Structure 1
């Protein structure tokens, strides 16, 4: 049998070039399992019961003394709504990250990792952390200017954290993360320095209490970005581990914080802030709506 050499040339020329990138394994989906979903429901119930308790505690004191109670009850109420949303499958999105495995002698391998991002959590934090800061600021007697700076820095911190969670590449993700850390340092400065200076003018018990509860809060808040770094950031921790870690912190930072604040506040009835004016009496009522300390002693 005689083979035409020109036919071999034509056949070989029809072979497509070897691709420089070849598909890799199937896409990876990182999502919550049964443990994570049960954790969401447990925290949802804890937030609901805590909210009911805080509202009940508010009705036990005069309206002038309810400021801390109402703020704290709102914190756990927003947290309850957030955890209910996450537990029922709402407030969740997937962030896609392209993973390229580079090789020297063979084409690169490409696959995609899709991880659940609970954006409801960031909505929760953007509402609850300013209220929590307001609790601490009013306890210390922080000025209005410093309160505004702390709250704005806090909101920037939460929003940049959410943008980082949805970042499509490392430069974008860790850039947003760095902005959030800078904003957090501003919050720390307002509480640790300006807050402590303002509390120095209070009575000894209030000063000591502010130092303890503010320190407790800042320690917890410092752990949040660490968890973010190993979860949404580096994606080393599983989604279940992320949920459990944030759940523990949220319970400590909201219900535990709230019960500690309100029980101590109620035990200092004679020196706790009293809000008159519009808060207590509406328009045309008594007072100018200012926060006054020691009203019970003045009226005695």
Structure 2
């Protein structure tokens, strides 16, 4: 049998080889970073609240001018409450114009069996201007309530300091590292500080206001209870929004907007209108508020010599 060498070579060339090149791993790319920020709905809400706070500021200022100049002590609530909505208006103007915002970065790692791990970067907007607002307005709100109750300076100072600690630790928690005890540790400190505020109002405030009569005591119980209920909702919203991130930024803005309107303009209107119709709520704090220090308590050269 004669074999054609050309046909034999062609047949050999078509025989598959037993070895094959190694399969290369598929290329894996990390997802595009996700930015969680306000949309048009959230931005409009910020502007609406700014307008509400500004109107409240104008109304409360006008109410203060209705108080006779000779009776400056009756203007105390008006001035403190006007400052509350003024700071709130400034804060909401800053947030509505895109200022007072920072981004908290979180990296989520997704593990895979046959391909390299991938990482997803999330940047969530944190409105730190809101915490600046709260650090100024909530002590003033407490001051209104403490003056209404007639609390002493020591208890007022403790309530205000605890309140400031609560706000600052809440800010630290908002920028805390994810997946570590740090974030929720700050949150726990804020909650403990809030319990101190509740203790001061519920125990010392209720005790002192009882000496002012039934009308003032009932009013204090109503407005203080209203305030504490609203303030209790704040950390709940924080835990759902900044804490666990189960609420988007728009929903967070709307939730805080409703609470801020209730805690500031509504609170202020309730306090001022009741104060105008209830003379027993007037705070008498001496001549310093209306006349200043003057020469009271000053040391004059020669007094000791004359007395010698």
Normalising by structure 1, report the TM-score: 0.86
1:84 aligns with 2:85: no
* Superposed displacement of residue 104, structure 1: 4.8
Residue matched to 1:111: 120
Deviates more, 1:155-164 or 1:99-108: 99-108
Q: How many angstroms apart in 2 are the aligned matches of 1:128 and 1:271? A: 21
Q: CA RMSD in A?
A: 2.3
Q: How many angstroms apart in 2 are the aligned matches of 1:145 and 1:34? A: 46
Residue matched to 2:233: 223
* Superposed displacement of residue 200, structure 1: 1.6
1:161 aligns with 2:161: no
Change (3 A) 1:271 1:130: closer
Q: How many angstroms apart in 1 are the aligned matches of 2:295 and 2:50? A: 39
| Equivalent runs, 1:38-53 vs 2, <5 Å | 38-53=44-59
1:97 aligns with 2:106: yes
Residue matched to 2:72: 63
Residue matched to 1:265: 275
Deviations 1:23-56 (A, max 9, x none): 4321111000011000000000000010111111
Residue matched to 2:9: none
Q: How many angstroms apart in 1 are the aligned matches of 2:154 and 2:220? A: 19
Residue matched to 2:32: 26
Checking the alignment, whether the CA contact within 8 Å between 1:54 and 1:73 is kept in structure 2 is yes
Q: How many angstroms apart in 1 are the aligned matches of 2:128 and 2:164? A: 14
Deviates more, 1:24-33 or 1:206-215: 24-33
CA radius of gyration, larger in: 2
Aligned residues: 277
Checking the alignment, whether the CA contact within 8 Å between 2:105 and 2:124 is kept in structure 1 is yes
Checking the alignment, whether the CA contact within 8 Å between 1:25 and 1:111 is kept in structure 2 is yes
Change (3 A) 1:222 1:271: closer
Change (3 A) 1:243 1:179: same
Residue matched to 2:302: none
Change (3 A) 1:241 1:195: same
Deviations 1:205-259 (A, max 9, x none): 0000000000000000000001011111111111000000000000000000000
Q: How many angstroms apart in 1 are the aligned matches of 2:233 and 2:111? A: 34
Residue matched to 1:254: 264
SS of equivalent residue, structure 1 residue 90: coil
Checking the alignment, whether the CA contact within 8 Å between 1:213 and 1:257 is kept in structure 2 is yes
Change (3 A) 1:209 1:286: farther
1:136 aligns with 2:145: yes
* Superposed displacement of residue 270, structure 1: 4.8
Q: How many angstroms apart in 1 are the aligned matches of 2:281 and 2:205? A: 18
Residue matched to 2:7: none
Q: How many angstroms apart in 1 are the aligned matches of 2:281 and 2:191? A: 36
Q: How many angstroms apart in 1 are the aligned matches of 2:221 and 2:114? A: 60
Checking the alignment, whether the CA contact within 8 Å between 1:36 and 1:240 is kept in structure 2 is yes
**Structure richer in strand, relative to its length:** 1
**Which runs of 5 or more residues in structure 2 are unaligned?**
1-11, 14-18, 298-308
Deviations 1:116-173 (A, max 9, x none): 0000000000000000000001111112111111111100100011111111223221
Deviates more, 1:271-280 or 1:203-212: 271-280
**Which runs of 5 or more residues in structure 1 are unaligned?**
3-7, 288-300
Residue matched to 1:284: 294
Q: How many angstroms apart in 1 are the aligned matches of 2:157 and 2:26? A: 60
